[in-house]
Amino acid sequence: MNDLWRLSATDLAALIRDRKVSAKEAASAGLARLDAVNPAINAVVEHRPEDVLAQADMVDTALARGDAVGPLAGVPVTVKVNIDYAGYATTNGVNIQRNVLPTSNSPVIDNLRKAGAVILGRTNCPAFSYRWFTTNLLYGDTKNPRDPGITPGGSSGGAASSVAAGIGHIAHGTDIAGSIRYPAYACGVHGLRPTLGRIAAYNAALPERIISGQITAMSGPLARTIADVRLGLEVMSQPDARDPWWVPAPLEGPRMPKRAAMCLRPDGLEISADVEAAVRDAGKRLERAGWIVEEVDNTPALREAAALQTQIWFGDGYQGMLDAAEREGDPGALACLRGIAPKLEGFENGGLSRALVRRSTFVRDWQLFLQDYAVVLMPVSGELPFPDNLDLKDQDSFERVWRAQTPQIGIPFMGLPALSVATGLVGGVPTGVQIVAGRYREDLCLLAGEAIEAGGTPVSPIDPVTV
């Protein structure tokens, strides 16, 4: 049973519910895998084996009584260090929050536990969750298990790295501008950023989020199979009254014709030949699965949406963010904030109000566009995953990184769901595509994602590549 960590969450949960495998066996296999590979990638930065085994014992005891244990019965999962987990510091990757010790759980943690999940460990993120790379002064660097020379993505780099390497079966991440989708892309797994209001968020140990965080930051699942992403969404999206933005929308919407718009260069995005090949290949996989795929020259606005998303994310309270980064002294966070500064010009003079007014137009335009298509198929990024810490090289490199991420940054401004689907490797470097659907239509993203997944080589956990 030592290779239980290789199974999907869906398959493992079924085995545990049928009492063919115990939750303790699954937890022990997960801990053994963590011990074997985490030193090479530093994806999980805090875990307590005795607590993990105690959680598993609770599941086994419930099963022995004949109690229902939930859809994630005994499945080991990981959670990011930026959400409240009682007794574990909500650090967000920074020393200045290492003493923020919550006494209650975030809604995501509560929903995972109610579903029977066993929380295996806490995953790394860049300082303040700002960057497309994952390193900080508190925990150090997280490496991409497929190639330590490329980024594992950020900010949920630890989440993607862990699940790619077989540490946990589903990983929790957060996404305000690509922080689930880009790590999934970089590590060759799948990741879903849900619709605004789909998954409840609340950290009682920290002040209320600024408005940009409230309306654009979302928790979501990363996994090695689309079925597990679907399962993670189902579990994480359960009701919680603590989040005023949570919406009781059904997980399955009305049927739509299987019609996809394929856009290679949304809003004039520059893309590499490998990125174009990945999107075209995904389009062919959809067609073979019975979808109608129409190539379109453009989508509704993404470039301006990305610019405004960047402004409301960093412009509302920029000086406070900079002051905190200076206290922390993290080079990556400081480089990010200083590099962003030119993009915030004029924001203080009514920029937040202007951006939110403009947002209504963009939401309307996208909703009208998505009346004609179930999904939009487009790049995750204009380039393959970047060399690690490329943004620290110089200002041109910083701009190159942010420019390539336009398809990710723009989507949260409208509150839309988007799924990053791993499609293969270019050499040893992962590639993939992004699927976007209308609000609360994650089911359409997942439907298309399943067809793309089925048309290629399934993602399997890997042993980390080391230099």
Q: Give burial (CB, 10 Å; 0-12/13-18/19+) of 59.
A: buried
Residue 2, pLDDT score:
79
* Look-up of token digits 């999206």: 237
pLDDT at position 467 over 80: no
* Look-up of token digits 């999904």: 375
Q: Burial code of 248-281, b = ≥16 C-beta within 10 A, e = fewer?
A: eeeeebeebebebbbbbbbbebebbeebeebbbb
Does residue 155 have a cis bond before it (omega within 30 degrees)? yes
Known catalytic residue at 155: yes
Known catalytic residue at 179: yes
Between CA 409 and CA 175 the distance in angstroms is 10
| CA–centroid distance for 84 within its chain | 17
Between CA 300 and CA 152 the distance in angstroms is 30
Distance, first Cα to last Cα, the chain: 30
Catalytically annotated residue among 8, 155, 212, 420: 155
* Look-up of token digits 């460990």: 121
Residue 458, pLDDT score:
94
Number of H-type helices and E-type strands within the chain: 16, 11
Catalytically annotated residue among 8, 24, 28, 80: 80
Strand runs labelled E in 41-102: 44-46, 76-80
Banded model confidence at residue 1, pLDDT cuts 50, 70, 90:
low
pLDDT digits 0-9 by tens, 135-187: 999 999 999 999 999 999 999 999 999 999 999 999 999 999 999 999 999 99
pLDDT at position 37 over 80: yes
With H, G, I as helix, E, B as strand and everything else as coil, classify residue 35.
helix
| pTM exceeds 0.75 for this model | yes
Residue 466, pLDDT score:
87
pLDDT digits 0-9 by tens, 320-356: 999 999 999 999 999 999 999 999 999 999 999 999 9
- CB-CB contact of 125 with 80 (8 Å): yes
Q: Residue 418's closest CA among 247, 276, 299, 257?
A: 299
Fold topology of 4-454:
Amidase signature (AS) enzymes (3.90.1300)
Percent of the chain with pLDDT over 70: 100
Q: Residue 193's closest CA among 209, 211, 212, 174?
A: 174
Between CA 71 and CA 210 the distance in angstroms is 34
Residue 425, pLDDT score:
97
Q: Where are the domains of the chain?
A: 4-454
pLDDT at position 62 over 70: yes
> For the chain, what is the mean pLDDT?
97
pLDDT digits 0-9 by tens, 201-234: 999 999 999 999 999 999 999 999 999 999 999 9
pLDDT digits 0-9 by tens, 414-427: 999 999 999 999 99
Catalytically annotated residue among 179, 212, 381, 420: 179
